[in-house]
Structure 1
Amino acid sequence: MNWQKLEKELQKLSLEDRLAQIANLAQASEIAFSTSLGQEDQAITHAISTQKLGYRIFTLDTGRQFQESYELIDLTTKKYQLNLETFFPKTEAVESLVKEKGFNSFYYSIENRKECCGIRKIEPLNRALKGVKIWITGLRAEQSENRSQMPMFEVDESRDLVKFNPLIDWTFIQLENYLNINKIPQNPLHKKGFISIGCAPCTRAITEGEHPRAGRWWWEESQKECGLHK
């Protein structure tokens, strides 16, 4: 497959058409969308659900989420009649981490934070992606320096799949317009300055002029990534 050629073709299309086109690349059961209920993910959930494309939709529950995030899950699943799969970290791994390093070890070093993300997010993600050929994400180039050069399609050799980023070239203004026009449910924390929402202990609101991901792992200087999207 010539992924660059396909990307050029899809760039001319709407989000709905981009998502519908990939149905030709694999069976619906082999196409999965991972949602963290952020604004980008809510837009994609709307586009998949209203077209009844039949792709798998799943989320990761780290056990440290905001209450507002859980409420948004209930609202979204009800509105779109979703069969939302939820993947949790392995109990034994979490118990071992807490016993050895406490509940808040992630504050003390980048290594500790990545260890926590590995247990609570990456391992469950890898389980969720077993048997998947096309992995849909809500990544946008504007979100971070690390994502600025990402293409619409990426071959993930370690997981033997292709990652599809249908919103990679969208601006935040485009996203906001889409959400408002389609009356898509959003996390109320967004209006309080929480642009990028992760685990509650690891996310703060940003101030005017700060980068959208400045509120993630706010106590450290890093690429603001957990490892899900290397």
Structure 2
Amino acid sequence: MLTVQHLEKHFENTKVLNDISFSLEEGQALSIIGSSGSGKTTLLRCLNFLETPDAGTITVQDKVLFDADHHANCSEKEIRKNRLHFGMVFQSFNLFPQYTALENVTLARELMAKDTGESKDAIRAAGMELLDQMGLADRAGHYPHQLSGGQQQRVAIARALALHPDILCFDEPTSALDPELTGEVLKVIRGLAEQKTTMIIVTHEMAFARDVADQVIFMDGGFIVEQGDPKQVIDHPQEERTKQFLARFAENN
């Protein structure tokens, strides 16, 4: 489904991503772990075309979406089209406060309706179905300020799913939530994994990463230090830096 090769990103003189390469099969979940500042969020932002990599390629289903050597020729319209392959769920929800839960979920499809010809009723019905899947059918008319953090994040997940992305990306989806609400959101993501949704999950929930992911990547200083089966990376890490991170994480939790 996804192949990333030799991806690099610099901010002025700071190299944030160094030679990042990995692949993801359809229906798999990939968890990315690592300390703050290790490059995890920047990697997701590059995949979603919110940042432009300085080197490397991004390929989805054998189609090269990004090649740094030819990016200068890529139009804004092409970038927007490429972005549709990825759904993004942010740690701070990023819902539009002036729209209801249902309106947040349906907005993007309504904006595209002039190109797709999809009816407003069909879009609304699909939005309600997604909210029902998230356990929020009775909150469709509520505005974000009337929802708990966990409910807002579930609306954000429904919104990301609304455009049927090939790959769903989560950037620490529970970091802004208290433990009780964290469970709500993790349950939804676990359900998506059981449905074989292709996902990339940046997370600090190690037990969740071990249980749900098909593979885990540990990043440090912009490099992939270790990647593989979650039980191997989390329970039996090979690299010293991975061992140090997991030991410190265990101490703090």
TM-score, normalization: structure 1?
A: 0.32
Q: Which has the higher contact order (CA 8 A, sep 6+)?
A: 2
Which of 1 and 2 has greater Rg? 2
TM-score, normalization: structure 2?
A: 0.29
